[in-house]
Structure 1
Amino acid sequence: MKLLHPKTWSRAALFALPVLVAQVAVTQLQSDMGFSALSTVMAQDKQPDQRETRRTPALRAKVYEKLSEAQVAAEAKDMKTAQKLLDELIGAGGKNELNSYELANVWNMYAFIYYERGDYANALKAYERVIAQPDIPLAMEINTRFTVAQLYFVQEQWQKGINALNEWFKMTDSPNPDAYVLLAQGYYQLKDYDKALSNVEKAISMHNQRQADKPAAERKPAKEQWYNLARFLYFEKNDVKNTVAMLEILLTYYPKKDYWVQLSHMYGEQKKEKEQLAAMDTAYVQGVLDKGTEQVTMAYLYLNGELPYYAAKVMDKGLKDGSIEDTSKNWEITGGAWRQAQEVDKSIPAMEKAAAKSDSGELYARLGNIYLDGDQNEKAIDAINKGLSRGGVRRPDTARLVLGMAYFNTKQYAKARDAFQAAAKDKRSQEYASQWIKFMDSELERQRSLAEG
């Protein structure tokens, strides 16, 4: 039997990347902006500047007080009041009275308000105005440039996001792994998989190096979506070995059904049939294979591993609880598995359902064979005749051989001879049919001798 049903696997769908860059960027922005805008600015101002010294204008008390009021309103989700206070700062000529650092703080808070409203386009414009101010603290510029890059990604302006992020990399002394992942996802969207892969690999490597310095009990794995992105990119490059490695890591830290199914498939591509079966079996035992197609795949893997009894059990359970579709093909798989497991009594009802749901006579011919194995000769005769009359039997000659045997067992010798002679017209069955005719003639002669004696 074939290893897998031809429609069981959809390679592209099975290994599709579930993470969307825009969603990741929004999540990261929400994390970055979880604190108040003004306190962020003040914290940036205190960060040591290792690359250059800038003479930043002072933030005057009256401006600071106004910004603090706006911040309190923003934290209370009163964005209308917060924006009104900011408008007062730059309105009626106030904009010309503010120095560059004060303006940077105002635009930074405007950006925060726009972001909270989901107005990413205006938030981006406001952040660009922050960067445009001269002599702002380097830390403030660096952090704002990173946020600008994220907002480009949120708006699916991938190339602009990549460009902004690369500018940020030039300015920062200590890029974190998340930044490399964001860059990788940008390149992924542009289908530049080589650059995407090199960046996500760097992120994972950086994370693991940092974790190595911590006590074992405090170490954490890299994020699931990082390994997932690497897994997808290796798969797209047909790098089966590293795809498997990523899936094994994902299952170590983030065990999920999809990863077991994918790993089983990849073991199959490596011709590792035992590992392929074991991976899928693990998922089945855990009860996570809830789709009928997955359970049918499990049955095929059992059959390929010469475990027909387990294949039949999987199919039988799925058909009974409705998780496997009630089709002729699925009942055929079940019946065939029970027969291979020498469970003829269980094979018969499954094949009866398979034949009844089929438009072809093939399954009736096969059912007749099973009836013969179970010494149900009259049913075998009925099934095979039904199959031959319906048409579509792949080997009519073999079916007629079975029909002849069933007639012989019921002592319908003339009909048995007709069936064997019809089978003998096909060269593939000619010799076997002739042997049966000779055997039948010999048996009839023996019976006559006994009767005469």
Structure 2
Amino acid sequence: MTWFESTFLTRVAIPAALVLVVQVAITQVQRDLGLPVFSAAHAQKDAKKPERETRRTPALRNKVYEKLSEAQAAAEAKDLAMAKSILDAMIAEGGKKALNSYELANVYNLYAFIQYSREDYAGALRSYEQVVSQPDIPLAMEINTRFTIAQLYFVQEEWQKGIDALELWFNMTDTPNANAYVLLAQGYYQVKDYNKALINVEKAISMQLEKGKIPKEQWYNLARFLYFEKNDVKNTVRTLEALLTYYPKKEYWVQVSHMYGEQKKEADQLAAMETAYVQSMLEKDSEQVNMAYLYLNGDVPYKAAKVMDKGLNNDSIEGTSKNWELVGASWRQSQELKKAIPAMEKAAAKSNKGELYARLGNVYLDNDEYKKAVSAINKGLSRGGVKRPDSARLVLGMAYFNSQQYDKARDAFEAAAEDERSEEYAKQWMAYMESELSRQKALQEEDAALQQMTEALTQPDTDEELEVEVSPEDVVNKKSD
């Protein structure tokens, strides 16, 4: 079964009552196989159709009606072989000349039903073509049959023939409905005439709205696809917003969020995705991760961290190195260093490169855990794969400096300075470190001198005890000397 059949024919209940006293109905195939349809000429409300011709239809004779009724009864009992044999006999008994045009039309109409029931669509098409080829059949019968013919061409995936048949039907009917316009739109879509397809489906949508009815979801989806294919972002968004008005589903929130991003409407992009998230619609790993990135880009890192943390803990987000890195970075931007550290530790442990250990070292440094920072950065550098070794060595130098390992700090700064991107900053740190070391040395010397003087003044001379009065001013003057 083709795509067209599975989408539309499965909705059709084929009626058994095909024969009426005055006219044989065309079947619900033509009434219920309603799809999208239309062309620009048909969209004009004020366009007047030519006056209908007056037809003098031959009578349906009683003996012919009885045979048709017998065939119909067999068809209702699903005895299609019997129904066909009755029709074959009607043709064979006196030949086609024995039946008038209206009687022949009814015979071929019932033939078409039997063939359609057997999924012989090509045969049904031939029989329906025989129906409309008969002269002087009722105009309504011809109009209904032509619509069925168009639909069967679509079932056969003969798109252009289907379009042509529908165009002919539009020219004959006074009351085309929205489904007919959608059907024609589908045909134009298949032949990639997107402009005419859009005209038709938009006509169908507007007809429904004018009646105060909600257009079908698939109609909006056809319009959305067509606008997207034309790279018409504005109308794609408009159509998605209409879909969300009547059919608020997850996929439409996600799609409209993406399209808002195309329009650089970051606030709307975040709001649309968040609406889906708070309704527990975002179940996929990628959707939740995307939500976290949108929060980060919107300067809401705390919410990004919460999304990632929840997903990682309930296993709806895969515990990859990259995902743990994202939650760690989010907690860090939220100034939640105690939560950032375990996340970054997991990220680094799952990575086969040293980059994440270098970043972990940064977090340790921010949290004043200098020895852990030294260990993490050295591990990252030895493992390799650090994107900016010069920056990592700058941080390493800071960690060494704060842990009072000055020689190692100097080595780290000197190594960082070999890269021109970090040279100036590394030299500033070395200068600061040397200045700090000089200041510390001076303080130590002053403290030592003061301690020595204090000890000398408080201990008596062993050879001879002298009473010496020392004033505070003497101590200060001595310190100055």
- What is the TM-score of this pair, normalised by structure 2? 0.82
Given candidates 264, 274, 289, the residue that maps to 2:267 is 274
Q: Residue type matched to 1:312 in 2?
A: A
The answer on whether the counterparts of 1:234 and 1:240 sit within 8 Å (CA) in structure 2 is: yes
Q: Does 1:233 align with 2:226?
A: yes
Q: How far apart are the structure 1 equivalents of 2:136 and 2:344?
A: 82
The answer for the alignment partner of 2:479 in structure 1 is none
The answer for the alignment partner of 1:38 in structure 2 is 19
The answer for the alignment partner of 2:475 in structure 1 is none
The answer for the alignment partner of 2:206 in structure 1 is 205
Instruction: Report the CA distance between 1:232 and its aligned residue.
Output: 1.5
Q: Does 1:422 align with 2:423?
A: no
The answer for the alignment partner of 1:379 in structure 2 is 372
Q: How far apart are the structure 2 equivalents of 1:181 and 1:363?
A: 55
Q: How far apart are the structure 2 equivalents of 1:325 and 1:102?
A: 70
Distance 1:136 1:338, change over 3 A: same
The answer for the alignment partner of 2:155 in structure 1 is 154
Instruction: Report the CA distance between 1:152 and its aligned residue.
Output: 0.6
Question: SS at 2:19's partner residue?
Answer: helix
Q: Does 1:85 align with 2:86?
A: yes
Instruction: Report the CA distance between 1:279 and its aligned residue.
Output: 0.7
The CA deviation string for residues 151-178 of structure 1, in whole angstroms up to 9 with x for no partner, is: 1111111111011111111111221121
Instruction: Report the CA distance between 1:408 and its aligned residue.
Output: 2.0
Question: SS at 1:325's partner residue?
Answer: coil
The answer for the alignment partner of 2:136 in structure 1 is 135
Q: How far apart are the structure 1 equivalents of 2:125 and 2:224?
A: 32
Instruction: Report the CA distance between 1:50 and its aligned residue.
Output: 6.7
Q: How far apart are the structure 2 equivalents of 1:347 and 1:314?
A: 14
The answer on whether the counterparts of 1:25 and 1:151 sit within 8 Å (CA) in structure 2 is: no
Distance 1:411 1:331, change over 3 A: same
Q: How far apart are the structure 2 equivalents of 1:105 and 1:146?
A: 16
Q: Does 1:251 align with 2:232?
A: no
Aligned residues: 421
The answer for the alignment partner of 1:390 in structure 2 is 383
Distance 1:320 1:115, change over 3 A: farther
Question: SS at 2:358's partner residue?
Answer: helix
Q: Residue type matched to 2:102 in 1?
A: Y
The CA deviation string for residues 339-362 of structure 1, in whole angstroms up to 9 with x for no partner, is: 111122222222222222323221
Q: How far apart are the structure 1 equivalents of 2:238 and 2:23?
A: 43
Instruction: Report the CA distance between 1:67 and its aligned residue.
Output: 2.2
Structure 1 unaligned spans of 5+: 1-18, 212-218
Q: How far apart are the structure 1 equivalents of 2:366 and 2:3?
A: 57
Distance 1:78 1:270, change over 3 A: same
Instruction: Report the CA distance between 1:144 and its aligned residue.
Output: 0.6
Given candidates 433, 445, 460, the residue that maps to 1:440 is 433
Q: Residue type matched to 1:64 in 2?
A: Y
Q: How far apart are the structure 1 equivalents of 2:147 and 2:10?
A: 14
Distance 1:182 1:89, change over 3 A: same
The answer for the alignment partner of 1:222 in structure 2 is 215
- State the 4+ residue runs in structure 1 displaced beyond 6 angstroms: none
Distance 1:175 1:368, change over 3 A: same
The answer on whether the counterparts of 2:233 and 2:259 sit within 8 Å (CA) in structure 1 is: yes
Given candidates 321, 324, 328, the residue that maps to 2:321 is 328
Distance 1:422 1:153, change over 3 A: same
Greater Rg over alpha carbons, structure = 2
Structure 2 unaligned spans of 5+: 27-49, 448-481
Question: SS at 1:57's partner residue?
Answer: coil
The answer on whether the counterparts of 1:25 and 1:150 sit within 8 Å (CA) in structure 2 is: no
Q: Residue type matched to 2:248 in 1?
A: P
The answer on whether the counterparts of 2:390 and 2:422 sit within 8 Å (CA) in structure 1 is: yes
Q: Residue type matched to 2:244 in 1?
A: L
Q: How far apart are the structure 1 equivalents of 2:85 and 2:313?
A: 66
Instruction: Report the CA distance between 1:387 and its aligned residue.
Output: 1.4
Distance 1:294 1:36, change over 3 A: farther
Q: How far apart are the structure 2 equivalents of 1:224 and 1:424?
A: 63
Q: How far apart are the structure 2 equivalents of 1:61 and 1:22?
A: 38
Q: How far apart are the structure 1 equivalents of 2:130 and 2:88?
A: 15
Q: Residue type matched to 1:328 in 2?
A: S
The answer on whether the counterparts of 1:162 and 1:186 sit within 8 Å (CA) in structure 2 is: yes
Kindly report the root-mean-square deviation, in angstroms, between the aligned alpha carbons of the 2 structures: 2.4
The CA deviation string for residues 268-300 of structure 1, in whole angstroms up to 9 with x for no partner, is: 111111111111111111111222212121111
Q: Residue type matched to 2:424 in 1?
A: E
Q: How far apart are the structure 1 equivalents of 2:319 and 2:73?
A: 62
The answer for the alignment partner of 2:102 in structure 1 is 101
The answer on whether the counterparts of 2:373 and 2:396 sit within 8 Å (CA) in structure 1 is: yes
Distance 1:34 1:381, change over 3 A: farther
Given candidates 338, 341, 344, the residue that maps to 1:348 is 341
Instruction: Report the CA distance between 1:196 and its aligned residue.
Output: 0.9
- What is the TM-score of this pair, normalised by structure 1? 0.86
Percentage of pairs with the same residue: 70
Q: Residue type matched to 2:368 in 1?
A: D
The answer for the alignment partner of 2:197 in structure 1 is 196
Q: How far apart are the structure 2 equivalents of 1:181 and 1:252?
A: 21
The answer on whether the counterparts of 2:292 and 2:308 sit within 8 Å (CA) in structure 1 is: yes
Q: Does 1:121 align with 2:122?
A: yes
Instruction: Report the CA distance between 1:208 and its aligned residue.
Output: 2.5
Q: How far apart are the structure 1 equivalents of 2:162 and 2:431?
A: 85
The answer for the alignment partner of 2:32 in structure 1 is none
